[in-house]
Amino acid sequence: MAESIRVDHAAHHDDHHGAHHGGHEMSFTEKYVFPLDHKMIAMQYMFTGMFMALIGGFFAYAFRWQIAFPGTEAPLWGQVSPAEYNSLVTNHGSIMIFWVAMPVLIAAFGNYLIPLMIGADDMVFPKINRLSYQIFLISAIVILSSFFVEGGAFGGAWTAYPPLSTKAEYSLTPLGSTLWITAVALEFVAFLLGGINFITTAMNSRAPGMKMWDIPMVVWMIVIASILFMLSVGPLLAGGIMMIFDQNLGTAFFNPDKGGDPILWQHLFWFFGHPEVYVVLLPAVGIVAEIITVFGRKKLFGYKTVLYTAIGTGVLSFTVWAHHQFIAGIDPRMANVFTVTTLLISVPIAEMMFVYIATLYGGSITLSTPMLWALSFIFEFLIGGITGIFLGASGNDIFMHDTYFVLAHFHYTFYPIAIIGTYAGFTYWFPKMFGRMMNEKLGKLHFWLTIIPFNTIFLPLFVLGAAGHHRRIFDYRNFPELSHPWMWDLQALATYSLIVMLLAQIIFFYNVITSWISGPKAPKNPWNANTFEWTATSPPPHGNWPEGLPTCYRGPYEYSHPDRKGSDFWPQNEPG
Amino acid sequence: MRTTSPPIRLIAAEHGEPKVISNGVLGMLLFVLTEIMLFAGMISVFNIVRASSVVWPPPNQPRLPIEETAVNTLALLASGLCFYLAQRRFAVSRPSARLPLTLALVLGSFFVLFQGYEWISMIARGLTLTSSTLGSFFYLIVGMHALHVIVALGMLVQTWRRHAQGWLHPSQLATTGVFWYFVVGAWPIIYWRVYW
């Protein structure tokens, strides 16, 4: 049985025996609950991530209400207590990074796009892929369950610095802090399994003819991001194990009373934490590369330059971590070194942005919804990058540390990555994923109602931060000499903008659901794009190309090629 | 039930472009990359704590058994060598790999059992997980390595069983090998940086 199935399909995998390629009808459980199909696993990751984003967004609303209107009850939440405030802030950060940005950008887009874009019928290890999602789902349940245990959810910030995080008498969350670190560790295991799959698939399962320089940029970016993740996560896993021991077994790795060192955790955390920024950034810039070439009808300006800058960024990202610790008591000479490396890392990223602008220059640009998201990514991320240069300089950082300026800076990087990048990719590949076209009018309305409030949330926070407003203060009424009326006005503006932005997401979900049900049927290639996924039917069936896998004849970005007569695109699979 | 090795067809090989590294080996290499960073993190943290403490070793703590562990280190290295011989013999004639594969398994098991015996005697002499930072790091790092050896032994048992049944595929042997060489290769570094 298994043998005959293996012969029927072109791609075979070392670790499974073709059982999921069977011709029999799959039950609901096989197809949707425990799927082996990379596209279905991608959808599981995508919708779990979006669900977690709603929770993370709601947390942001609750604590933003407390910041702007302390002492009043937040509608739908109630009065925010100091302990609740801490756990809301902590879990907003943790969820948005580990349970939204990572699963959606790497796991969902990686799972969906890698086999389709390199011309494979599935991942090389489909069962490991399924296991990866299951572990991720358990980790999501663990982090959410921490809100319902005695003492409440962990409130020691997403960085979890000891001794606050290791001693229950300080954190007051004896169970919550252990559940938090357990959830994070499980989540890492899930992405470790996913990353192994992504890299192995992209290296070993490419369609015949697809050379290294023919791989679409988003696949490269997810591969590089996975390598960065795998190189950086080990030390933090070690730190996580040590923290669980400290919390529950009475060891003293991070406890200075008994010979430990709390600063060590910071090093372990940020050795992972900084590359992590690039782990989620790279897939987003890869998505943007796909979109700007398709809607600019131009070849990507400097394919290899983008690739090399991504690798350069990855290498440099391992040398910048201590810029998070400038005031943690590290040697000032070491701070100087890390200032230099931090400022250096803006060079490859800036180069990448210049390449994108050069790609757009002279193109015939269509301002469709995905293109609007892609263009806004470049614009908003530049603001985040440029404000990072201020913070990378250690002298300036001593003043700016822990102010709203820092907060606004990293939201100007993470928001374009996790939210704008996701919307760009989701609206671009929606016709492929669901076989229907999205409503452009609603898409653009949603775009503007998300982008404008986003800027009116975080631009005021730059001003507040530069004026010295401190991000850890629960209730600024207790510091009347530090808070002027104009500061309260800007905080209220940010909170009102957040509410508008959250409400605007209803438009998105309405658009997704109605388009999915009754949108116009999508053709195979609605955007006239070159890459392989647009040669499969929309949505692609199990196995992606039942009639046989495609063959690659050229690079992915041959738009408006002078040798091509009669059309401005040249699909990768067309001979000639 | 399968009794013989399934034919493994590689996608690229169908089109005349043989894959350089098989899926299993490449996946395992990537996993080992993460593991190397995990141990590098733990060992460097331990060395930083040791270098920055005023009194080292912590008072009233027994010294670590350097001599006995040297013997154990040799046992594990010999086990790695046996595995290497098994791979070489397997390439020539499959059944002849049986003896070195069995030896690798026996030596690896000896390593774990001997270490368990060592732990019991260390605990009896007052070195526990919470007695000092030395104890905490000792049991953390050595215990983490021992866990890896146990998992690797499980893989080795599986490989041995498949080989005995006659359907061991070369890429499966190579995949087990990557992990086994990792646990063998990591140990001398741990011995050098933790025991000494």
Task: State the pLDDT at residue B58.
Answer: 87
Residue whose structure tokens are 């399934």: B6
* Residue B155 CA: distances (Å) to CA of A127, A132, A134, B38: 18, 20, 23, 20
SS (H, E, C) A447-497: HHHHHHHHHHHHHHHHHHHHCCCECCCCCHHHCHHHCCHHHHHHHHHHHHH
Judge residue A231's burial from the number of C-beta atoms within 10 Å of its C-beta, 0-12 exposed, 13-18 middle, 19 or more buried.
Answer: buried
Task: State the pLDDT at residue B18.
Answer: 53
Which of the listed CATH numbers 1.20.140.10, 3.40.50.980, 3.40.350.10, 1.20.210.10 matches domain A35-535?
Answer: 1.20.210.10
Q: Does 2.60.34.10 match the CATH number of domain B63-195? A: no
Q: Is there a contact between A235 and B38 if contact means CB atoms under 8 Å apart?
A: yes
If you ran DSSP here, which 8-state letter would residue B127 be given?
Answer: -
Tokens linked to A68: 């702007």
Nearest to A314 by CA among A367, A277, A360, A266: A277
What pTM value is reported for the model? 0.92
Q: Is there a contact between A203 and B26 if contact means CB atoms under 8 Å apart?
A: yes
What residue spans define the domains of chain A?
Answer: 35-535
User: What is the separation of C-alpha B28 from the centre of its chain, rounded to a whole number of angstroms?
Assistant: 13
CB-nearest partner of A230 from B33, B52, B133: B33
Judge residue A25's burial from the number of C-beta atoms within 10 Å of its C-beta, 0-12 exposed, 13-18 middle, 19 or more buried.
Answer: exposed
CA-based nearest distance A572→chain B, Å: 18
Rounded Cα gap, residues A367 and A281, in angstroms: 23
* Residue A429 CA: distances (Å) to CA of A117, A374, A441, A526: 12, 13, 17, 10
Residues of chain A contacting residue B147, judged by C-beta atoms under 8 Å apart: none
Q: Is there a contact between A237 and B36 if contact means CB atoms under 8 Å apart?
A: no
The answer to whether A88 touches A502, Cβ cutoff 8 Å, is no
Q: Which residues of chain B have pLDDT under 70?
A: 1-19
In degrees rounded to 5, what are phi and psi of residue A111?
A: -65, -40
Determine contact: A234 vs chain B, CB below 8 A. yes
ipTM confidence score:
0.89
CB-nearest partner of B41 from A2, A260, A268: A268
Which bin fits A152, alpha (ψ -120 to 50), beta or left (φ > 0)?
left
Which bin fits A362, alpha (ψ -120 to 50), beta or left (φ > 0)?
left
Q: Is there a contact between B53 and A259 if contact means CB atoms under 8 Å apart?
A: yes
Q: Is A403 helix (H, G, I), strand (E, B) or coil?
A: strand
In one-letter notation, the amino acid at residue A16 is H
**R_g of chain B computed on alpha carbons:** 20
Q: Which residues of chain A have pLDDT under 50?
A: 1-22
SS (H, E, C) A210-275: CCHHHCCHHHHHHHHHHHHHHHHHHHHHHHHHHHHHHHHCCCCCCCHHHCCCHHHHHHHHHHHHHH
Tens-digit pLDDT profile for residues A32-91: 889 999 999 999 999 999 999 999 999 999 999 999 999 999 999 999 999 999 999 999
CA-based nearest distance A564→chain B, Å: 28
Rounded Cα gap, residues A472 and A470, in angstroms: 6
Judge residue A439's burial from the number of C-beta atoms within 10 Å of its C-beta, 0-12 exposed, 13-18 middle, 19 or more buried.
Answer: buried
Interface test with B, best of A122, A251, A257, A263 (most B CBs within 10 A): A251
